[in-house]
Structure 1
Amino acid sequence: MAMQFYASPEQVQRDRSEYARKGIARGRSAVVLTYEGGILLVAENLTSLRKISEIYDKIGFAAVGRYNEFENLRRAGVRMADLNGFSYDRRDVTGRGLANAYTQTLGAIFSETQKPYEVEICVAQVGATVEADELYRITYDGSVMDEPGFMAMGGQAEAISNVLRERHDVAADLGAALKLAVEALGSVGGENGAARELGAAQLEVALLDRRRKGRAFRRIAGTALITLLEGGKDLPEPEKGAPTGDAALPAPAEAKPTVSAASEDLEGNADSGDADG
Structure 2
Amino acid sequence: MPFYVSPEQQMKDKADYARKGISRGRSVVVLQYDDGILFVADNPSRALHKISEIYDRIAFAAVGKYNEFENLRLGGVRYADINGYQYDRRDVTARGLANVYAQSLGTIFTETNKPYEVELVVAEVGADADTDQIYRLTFDGSVADEHGYVAMGGQADAVAQALKDGYEEGASLAGALRVAVRALEAQDSERRLEAKSLEVAVLDRNREHRLFRRLTARRIEELLGEEDSSAASDAGSDATPDSPSKPDED
Both structures adopt the same fold (TM-score exceeding 0.5): yes
Tell me how far apart the structure 2 counterparts of residues 164 and 225 of structure 1 sit (CA, whole Å). Answer: 19
Aligned 1:79-94 pairs, distance under 5 A:
79-94=78-93
Report the equivalent of 1:222.
217
Aligned 1:1-277 pairs, distance under 5 A:
3-48=1-46, 49-188=48-187, 190=188, 194-231=189-226
Report the alpha carbon displacement of residue 128 of structure 1 after superposing the two structures with TM: 0.5
Give a deviation string over 1:236-261, Cα, whole Å, max 9, x none: xxxxxxxxxxxxxxxxxxxxxxxxxx
Number of residue equivalences? 227
Report the equivalent of 2:233.
none
Contact conserved, 2:195 with 2:218, CA < 8 A, in 1?
Answer: no
Report % sequence identity: 58
Give a deviation string over 1:116-169, Cα, whole Å, max 9, x none: 000000000000000111110000000000011110000111111111112211
Gaps of 5+ in 1: 234-277
Contact conserved, 1:175 with 1:229, CA < 8 A, in 2?
Answer: yes
Q: Which has the higher contact order (CA 8 A, sep 6+)?
A: 2
Tell me how far apart the structure 2 counterparts of residues 118 and 32 of structure 1 sit (CA, whole Å). Answer: 19
Quick one: which amino acid aligns to residue 77 of structure 1?
A: G
Larger relative helix fraction: 2
Q: Which has the larger radius of gyration?
A: 1
Contact conserved, 2:202 with 2:214, CA < 8 A, in 1?
Answer: yes
Give a deviation string over 1:3-61, Cα, whole Å, max 9, x none: 21110000000000000000000000000000101000000002221000000000000
Quick one: which amino acid aligns to residue 132 of structure 2?
A: D
Report the equivalent of 1:241.
none
Contact conserved, 2:178 with 2:227, CA < 8 A, in 1?
Answer: no
**Alignment partner of 1:152: what SS?**
strand
Gaps of 5+ in 2: 229-250
Report the alpha carbon displacement of residue 195 of structure 1 after superposing the two structures with TM: 4.7
Quick one: which amino acid aligns to residue 124 of structure 2?
A: Q
Tell me how far apart the structure 2 counterparts of residues 195 and 70 of structure 1 sit (CA, whole Å). Answer: 30
Tell me how far apart the structure 1 counterparts of residues 76 and 190 of structure 2 sit (CA, whole Å). Answer: 36
Alpha-carbon RMSD across the aligned residues, in angstroms, is: 1.2
Report the equivalent of 2:236.
none
Contact conserved, 1:187 with 1:195, CA < 8 A, in 2?
Answer: no
Tell me how far apart the structure 2 counterparts of residues 195 and 125 of structure 1 sit (CA, whole Å). Answer: 34
Give a deviation string over 1:61-96, Cα, whole Å, max 9, x none: 000000000000000000000000000000000000
Quick one: which amino acid aligns to residue 105 of structure 1?
A: S
Tell me how far apart the structure 2 counterparts of residues 195 and 217 of structure 1 sit (CA, whole Å). Answer: 32
**Alignment partner of 1:42: what SS?**
strand
Give a deviation string over 1:202-223, Cα, whole Å, max 9, x none: 1000000011111100000132
Relative to the length of structure 1, the TM-score reads: 0.80
Tell me how far apart the structure 2 counterparts of residues 120 and 127 of structure 1 sit (CA, whole Å). Answer: 23
Quick one: which amino acid aligns to residue 160 of structure 1?
A: V
- In the TM superposition, structure 1's runs of 4+ consecutive aligned residues that sit over 4 Å from their partners are none
Relative to the length of structure 2, the TM-score reads: 0.89
